[in-house]
Amino acid sequence: MKFSRLSTYLDRLEDTPSRLEITKILSELFEETSKDETPKVCYLILGTLAPNYEGVLLNLAERMMLNVLSICYDENQQKIKLLFKEKGDLGNVAQSLAKAKGDNLSVNEVYGLLLSIAKDGGAGSVERKVSAMAKLLGKLDPLSARFVSRIPVGKLRLGFSEKTIIVALSNGNKDAEIQIEEAYNIRPDIGYIAKLVKENKLESASPEVGVPIVPMLAQRLNSTNEMIDKMGEVAVEPKFDGLRIFIHYRRKGNFLKIFTRNMNAIDEGVFPELKDFGKYIKADEIILDTEAVGLDPKRQMFVDFQKTVSRRRRHEIEKNSTEIPLQFQVFDVLLCDGKNFLRMPYTTRRKEIEKVVVNGSLLKVDEYTITKDPEVIKKFHQKYLKMGLEGVVVKRASGLYVSGRTGWNWVKMKEEEGMKGRLSDTLDCIVMGYFTGKGKRAQFGLGKILVGIRDGEKIRTLTKVGTGLTEEMLVEIRKRIDKLESKEKPKEYEAQKDLVPDVWAHPSLVVEVSADSVSVSTKHSLGLSLRFPRFLKIRGDKSASQATTLKELQNIAGLK
């Protein structure tokens, strides 16, 4: 397929607000692509070059791309800057300057050139990247130049995600969609999965050391009787206030890879405790699901989440590792010596953990109790709360490892059952933008943030939050949003006209919010709003796809 042909599809997608129509267009596109092209097309239409966990980035900021356009189209930088100010979009600037005809490069050729630019590093790489990008744009027709020039600055976003691509690949077959999504959860690389679909080899998707797995998540319930009714025999485990960490290890070559719950890779140097990981494992390769919990050596107790998360900061790692040593609470195994444990019962997985993990001060195998008695769950919940933990996680004893919050396999305990609409848990909300501050907050340029939650593929407004934002946090959030700023409302957002923030942000930053209750609202696009919302913390361990959903909010607030 010629890239110019792909660009016509991108143009149609950009002009289409309907989710159904977007899916139809994508299905048409995949019918037209070859097996070899399909993975590259998947990455390109998402504005990437590889799955996020591989960290393949072009690293050409807006300022550099303005220089690229100046070189490519032989225009002085002042004119380029004026055009950018006028049009507000690099792609539109490139399209207005590009020649009528390009060299008709193929999708594979454009992808290959972009990938080589992304992989160029070392001394003089910035200059080489700028030069190579300018050369590439010079070979493209105006429409193709529009889309390619947006990719380096992350502004291609057409308002759909991997989920929409999965639906498109299924061609309207619900069973096929479920199978594709299950395979994607095991190997969250949409290009790889799309190629398997083309080759009719979807069943070959399996866990692999070095490739993250979409994590299993817990639902929320208050009633222990309901837990037993829904799950039957259960395992009761302690719930720690730590950092969810997936440890991938292969003895050959001493390979160690660490992923967060949102499947971002963490430099192993951040956790020096794991440098001799092989000593604590009786296996040649393994993937473990753990919770990294910070310890206070003086007080001999666990520290809170924020202090644990501080261990991820790149500076002062050695100092932090001494002041806040980590203990990794091991509660699941997903792969061991080539054996896939995802489709094995909880009890089988726990036996494997006990067999292969050296239980000690570094790796601590979670204790668990099997029961059918609701009173036992209550007893352990109170026990763990008194220990300074977050109560219990209750797991179906026969349950498989199912990514996401599908079915009643894992449940965390709500603290109390209140009146209808009252919030029994906190919410993980997506920062959609911010309003500039007034009074004392004017100096920070940020007064309140607009947050929303997911409703299907859409992100709808829920509340404005200002309470709980310290001066330090105002600076931090402003700094983060500056990197995510969008000149226009992102396509997946829905907001009423009187709730348009001063600055929009692309959906990436997740914050934890508490509130007294939920009430019906005609002001917010979700149809609901929060009473007395309060900012708690940034959830750097979560991505926008893992934010609270409308269904979860209704469950937490007892609205269903």
Q: Maximum CA pair distance of the chain?
A: 76
Which position has the token pair 């429409």?
A: 143
Q: How far is the C-alpha of 163 from the C-alpha of 374, rounded, in Å?
A: 37
Q: How far is the C-alpha of 71 from the C-alpha of 65, rounded, in Å?
A: 10
Beta bridge partners of 393: 237, 412
Q: Annotated catalytic residue: which of 139, 198, 239, 364?
A: 239
Q: Shortest CA distance to 156 belongs to which of 10, 4, 53?
A: 10
Element (H, E) at 181: helix 174-186
- Per the CB < 8 A criterion, the answer to whether 425 and 222 are in contact is no
- Per the CB < 8 A criterion, the answer to whether 257 and 54 are in contact is no
For the purposes of burial, counting CB atoms within 10 Å of the CB of 252, is it exposed (0-12), middle (13-18) or buried (19 or more)? exposed
Beta bridge partners of 495: none
- Per the CB < 8 A criterion, the answer to whether 418 and 436 are in contact is no
- Residue 490's SS3 state is coil
Residue 520, CB-side half-sphere exposure with 13 Å CA sphere: 2
Which position has the token pair 């998402």?
A: 46
Q: How far is the C-alpha of 209 from the C-alpha of 302, rounded, in Å?
A: 30
Q: Beta strand pairing status for 255-260 and 510-514?
A: unpaired
Two structure tokens written together for 175: 């069973």
Amino acid identity at 307:
K
**In sequence order, what E strands does 322-391 have?**
326-336, 339-340, 363-365, 369-371
Q: How far is the C-alpha of 473 from the C-alpha of 479, rounded, in Å?
A: 10
| 239 is an active site residue | yes
**DSSP designation for 157:** -
Residues annotated catalytic, as ranges:
239
